[in-house]
Amino acid sequence: MVFKLPPDAPHLQYEPVIGLEVHVQLLTATKIFCSCSTRFGDPPNTNTCPVCLGLPGALPVLNRKAVEFAALAAMVLGCRINETSVFARKNYFYPDLPKGFQISQYDKPLAESGGIEVPTSQGNKKIGITRVHLEEDAGKSLHDGFAGSDTTAIDLNRSGVPLIEIVSEPDIASPQEAYEYLNRLKEILVYTGVSDCNMEEGSLRCDANISVRPRGQTTFGTKAEIKNINSFRFIRDALEYEISRQIEVLEAGGTITQETRLYNPDEGKTYSMRSKEQAHDYRYFPEPDLLPLLLNAKRRAEIQSMQPELPEALRNRLIAEHGISAQDAAVLTSNKMLADQFERAAKAAKNPKRVAGLVQNELMGRLKAKGLAIEHSPITMDGVALSADLVESGAISGKMLKDLYDLCFERSQDFPDVYEQTGRPQQSSDTSALEKIVREVFAANPKQREQYRGGKETLHAFFVGQVMKASKGQANPQLVNRLTRYPGRVPATGDKVEIEGRTGQFEVVSVDEEHWQAEVRPLAGADASELALWSLLRLVAY
Amino acid sequence: MTANFLTIDAVRSALQERRLTATALTESYFAKIEKQDGEIGAYVTLSKERALNKAAAVDELAAKGDPLPPLAGVPVGIKDVMVTRGVRTTAGSKMLGNYIPPYDCTAVARMEAAGVVVLGKLNCDEFAMGSSNENSAWRPVHNPRDLGRVPGGSSGGAAAAVAAEMAVAALGSDTGGSIRQPASFCGIVGLKPTYGRVSRYGLIAFASSLDHIGPMTKTVRDAAILLQTIAGSDPMDSTSHPATVPDYVAGIEQPVRGLRIGVAQEYFGEGLNHEVRIAVEAAIQKLAALGCEIVKVSLPHTQYAVPTYYIVATAEASSNLARFDGVRYGYRAEARTLSGMYRKTRDQGFGMEVKRRIMLGTYVLSAGYYDAYYLKAQKVRTLLARDFDDAFTKVDAIVTPTTPTAAFKLGEKSDDPLAMYLADIYTVTADLAGIPAISIPCGETKEKLPIGLQILGKHFDEVTILQLADAYEKAA
């Protein structure tokens, strides 16, 4: 619903100023300061050791891969990587924080001064990124499912999982922009392979800073921080609510309190959690157990070279190279694995354009009809590539491909499996290009045909050569070999025949020896229902 | 030293020649502990089973005639701030009164791999915070040379155990002088290596940038042997240094003639006891007689060392000790709320000096005070380190008293923290600069109390200070 607000409506007199702090878990196999697994969902406290349990005497040792992933993420977010960054302790007491401090970065973060392009109603807009820093995750407090209502249990499997915190500039001017920013951020990070950004599993978490100010004012209003929001949609909703709330307070002559607020998605409202006076003094100081993190030019260049092609560039290239539509490019690049598969399939296939064509014309429609996302397609890109090659070589016809695709969707099986299970069908109907060529070749060489019929076996090679030539070398030689073989005797009208590759009996209705074909009618039990023309060479057992 | 005592070499040759079994030796040390430790209080926990198992393994090797590892069967004690798997480790605190660690400190593991027999865990000031061992939550330690006096701290139990022959050697830790000051008070050798030379993994942290593990022994040669065993980088400690470990034992045999020795007036000022001054000056003359060149040097920022130390150390301690919150292990006080549990646990679990230092450290890191205290202290620390860098362009080592006085009486300073802090005045500088330093006995007061001579060296040049200490020890 769109409302047209009168020009003096309070909402038009104020503008929101939004900045986001996003925490993203990195996809390293082991934790940031020890060699425990980062696997999600294991039994509580099984992926732990003296280091991530914060036992007395244990010391952190930095995970090289975490640094690589963090630096890579910072690079694709356009940040400048600092040659020297420093880990710092953020001190506070919380039961799931085993050391009583979090190892983070403070005044010398890993990377600074970046930004990403975000689509808005007025075209793309750059949202600045103030900093990206590396830190460790805390454990998890579990409040439910224990005897006694006030029991809390602690799971430290998550303690020490590497995180990056991405802090945006207060460049975001609306809840919708915040939503788009988060989507773009997620897309880039997932693409880069540094995180799965799975909000349900907590691998992406977001806090929002929001203030409003009269339009035209250059100084910022007092901000509130909204925490604990667990979906992009809720962030948009929470920001909408908070903007209205702050404007209402100001319009009523009140002032905004600097505070931390929690969002309750059931009610769609934010609630005060603690005010500035109650805010923690984290007593940051450099972590003495870790040396400063040095990333010299050589190491930065190494990491730079690991940068993948980002979605925007990839889409443009796929459109240019494979001639697919912008819409299909968007679908094919919706995740990196799919895009990689598509590219690999397209490159491996004899004709890349055919792969793109099959995806567009055969795959997308079926997926849409079934309501499936492409990552859940029964036919993988490898399947598409195989089918494209089979059509390309003439082994199967376009009609057969459609049938096989239908079967794949029906059985939820990939193309190669279905193709094997149906006995590697070869194209066999008279509509096939190859049989047409064979007939044309026989028709064009009546003298040789007569001699061939008369028993001159050596002419077989002649006909094979002619057919191969006519098909510009594209035909399956084995098939050509069989299709041009002399049949022994020509069937007569009324003969009961079988057709190679089909079950059941057929009756010959008419014979066209000139074109080396016969019209046959399926009898009871035959796996075809229509009168059809078949090559004489496919008719057997008469 | 001419006293009749066991050294590491003596133990090894006795075992190798089958004149002695490790089991018998271990049992004799436990008997000695049983007899003497009641009045000294050096041990907090005995690890009899672990010790006898190890001794039996050594005996088995000896029986087969296999060559024994360098420290085979040597009975040692470990300061109770280094964790030992399955053996209670308390850090001298009620907070860890029932704490059994699941892993071994790297230095302890390296010692055991070299064959030592760990007799038990040695008393110390709570979380290594103190200079008299009176801050132990369990009991004070008495100086074996005079039971009315303190053994020094915080490695007081370690110094007393070695001095009283209740261990051939011990591992101590030194954050502001905690190896050297008690070594001096008890008349033994104490070596604080260069920062990064010995892994801190498994050392319960007091102040991470200042904490060092080092040997406490009867002789300089034993200190060299122990350092050889525990030195070297450790993948579990990012601050351990990759520099190759030289042969310390061979190193001490080199002649000292021609070495240049610095003497800094800043270490001979107000507060230095007259008898200590005389003894240290005599030691300097002895070194000159051995062919060393005595050179005056200046360390102008020395006067700022104690305040700098108490800012940096307490800041780090306030954070390092945050993990003792009653949630996962150690002492927990019952309370109705989480914050109540935190408060009561930390109030009841920590002793007075520890609480004092946590509060001090919390204060200097607080918003609005950080720049004035912590940041400024770090800058002064850099200046102190630079003083040494400058001095070491002129000299190979610097000689000072280890402490301004000999061992004081129990209770003498326990109500005056500032007076207590000044006991570290000559030792904190080496911790702040990260340079190696050794304390060796250099005579006695009229009251027969030991006096310590401190020798400071360049980063990673333990060889030179061990060499000088060994030459002095042999000449004295």
Least confident of A141-150, A344-353, B35-44: A141-150
Q: Residue B1 has what pLDDT?
A: 35
- Is A424 or A473 the better-scoring residue by pLDDT? A424
| Strand A532-535 relative to strand B260-264, pairing | unpaired
Predicted confidence (pLDDT) per residue in A438-455, tens digit: 878 888 888 888 888 777
Q: Residue B2 has what pLDDT?
A: 37
User: How far apart are alpha carbons B224 and B302 in whole angstroms?
Assistant: 28
Token representation of residue B130 = 């103190």
**For testing the chain B interface, which of A281, A285, A294 should be mutated: the one with the most B CBs within 10 Å?**
A285
Which chain B residues have any C-beta within 8 angstroms of a chain A C-beta? Answer: 82-83, 89, 91, 96, 99, 101-103, 105, 200-205, 207-209, 235-239, 315-316, 318-319, 321-325, 327-329, 338, 342, 362, 365-367, 370, 374
pTM value > 0.90? no
In the three-class reduction of DSSP (H, G, I as helix; E, B as strand; rest coil), residue A493 is classed as coil
A510 Cβ contact list (under 8 Å, min separation 6): A493, A518, A519
Contacts of A281 in chain B (CB under 8 A): 366-367
Residue A430 has pLDDT above 50, yes or no: no
The Cα angle at residue A214 between residues A212 and A220, in degrees rounded to 5:
50
Q: Residue A429 has what pLDDT?
A: 40
pLDDT range class, residue B402, cuts 50, 70, 90: very high
User: Please, what is the end-to-end C-alpha distance for chain A in angstroms?
Assistant: 73
Of the ranges A322-326, A536-540, B446-450, which is most confident? B446-450
Contacts of A288 in chain B (CB under 8 A): 207-209, 239, 316
Average pLDDT over residues A340-351: 80
Token representation of residue B115 = 């064959």
User: How far apart are alpha carbons B216 and B402 in whole angstroms?
Assistant: 14
Domains identified in chain B and CATH numbers: 1-476 (3.90.1300.10)
User: How far apart are alpha carbons A77 and A69 in whole angstroms?
Assistant: 12
Which of the 8 DSSP states describes residue A147? Answer: S
Which residue of the set B131, B132, B136, B154 is catalytic?
A: B154
Tell me, yes or no, if B339 is annotated catalytic: no
Cβ <8 Å between B319 and A283: yes
User: How far apart are alpha carbons A386 and A459 in whole angstroms?
Assistant: 34
Average pLDDT over residues B390-413: 95
Average pLDDT over residues A329-333: 78
Query: How many angstroms away from the CA of B327 is the closest CA of chain A?
Result: 6
Report phi then psi at A293, rounded to 5.
-85, 115
How much is the mean pLDDT over chain B? 95
Predicted confidence (pLDDT) per residue in B253-271, tens digit: 999 999 999 999 999 988 8
Domains identified in chain A and CATH numbers: 10-281+296-300 (no CATH), 311-421 (no CATH), 428-484 (1.10.10.410), 487-542 (2.30.30)
Residue B110 has pLDDT above 60, yes or no: yes
**Is the sign of the CA dihedral B305, B306, B309, B315 positive or negative?**
negative
User: How far apart are alpha carbons B19 and B13 in whole angstroms?
Assistant: 8
Q: Residue B3 has what pLDDT?
A: 44
User: How far apart are alpha carbons A96 and A106 in whole angstroms?
Assistant: 21
- DSSP for A191-259 reads HHTS----TTTTSEEEEEEEEEEETT--S----EEEEEE-SHHHHHHHHHHHHHHHHHHHHTT--PPPE
Residue A481 has pLDDT above 80, yes or no: no
Predicted confidence (pLDDT) per residue in B58-94, tens digit: 999 988 888 889 899 999 999 999 999 999 999 999 9
User: Where in B403-446 does DSSP place strands (E)?
Assistant: 437-444
Cβ <8 Å between A57 and B102: no
Average pLDDT over residues A474-501: 73
Q: Residue A191 has what pLDDT?
A: 87
Tell me, yes or no, if B121 is annotated catalytic: no
pLDDT range class, residue A428, cuts 50, 70, 90: very low
Average pLDDT over residues B192-221: 98
Residue B377 has pLDDT above 90, yes or no: yes
User: How far apart are alpha carbons A430 and A224 in whole angstroms?
Assistant: 74
Candidate from A56, A290, A291 with C-beta closest to B204: A56
Q: Are B89 and B53 in contact (CB under 8 A)?
A: no
Predicted confidence (pLDDT) per residue in A96-152, tens digit: 999 999 999 999 999 999 999 998 888 889 999 999 999 999 999 887 766 666 788
Residue B26 has pLDDT above 50, yes or no: yes
Predicted confidence (pLDDT) per residue in A284-317, tens digit: 999 999 999 999 999 999 998 888 888 888 888 8
The Cα angle at residue A70 between residues A67 and A75, in degrees rounded to 5:
120
Least confident of A389-403, B152-166, B236-250: A389-403
- Is B451 or A504 the better-scoring residue by pLDDT? B451
Candidate from A55, A93, A285 with C-beta closest to B325: A93
- Is A482 or A264 the better-scoring residue by pLDDT? A264
Candidate from B207, B235, B342 with C-beta closest to A93: B342
A55 touches chain B (CB under 8 A): yes
User: How far apart are alpha carbons A165 and A204 in whole angstroms?
Assistant: 10
In the three-class reduction of DSSP (H, G, I as helix; E, B as strand; rest coil), residue B231 is classed as strand
Query: Taking CB atoms and an 8 Å cut-off, how many pairs form between chains A and B?
Result: 99
Query: How many angstroms away from the CA of B177 is the closest CA of chain A?
Result: 19
Cβ <8 Å between A283 and B316: no
Cβ <8 Å between A60 and B342: no
Q: Residue B81 has what pLDDT?
A: 98
Contacts of A54 in chain B (CB under 8 A): 323, 328
Q: Residue A517 has what pLDDT?
A: 78
Average pLDDT over residues B189-209: 98
**For testing the chain B interface, which of A51, A53, A59 should be mutated: the one with the most B CBs within 10 Å?**
A59
How much is the mean pLDDT over chain A? 85
User: How far apart are alpha carbons A252 and A266 in whole angstroms?
Assistant: 27
Burial label for A21, CB within 10 Å (0-12, 13-18, 19+), is middle
ipTM greater than 0.90, yes or no?
yes
Q: Residue A1 has what pLDDT?
A: 44
Nearest to A56 by CA among B175, B344, B325, B196: B325
Tell me, yes or no, if B178 is annotated catalytic: yes
A177 Cβ contact list (under 8 Å, min separation 6): A18, A118, A120, A125, A127
Contacts of B208 in chain A (CB under 8 A): 288-289
User: How far apart are alpha carbons A536 and B198 in whole angstroms?
Assistant: 90
Token representation of residue B394 = 């002129």
pLDDT range class, residue A529, cuts 50, 70, 90: low
User: Please, what is the end-to-end C-alpha distance for chain B in angstroms?
Assistant: 8
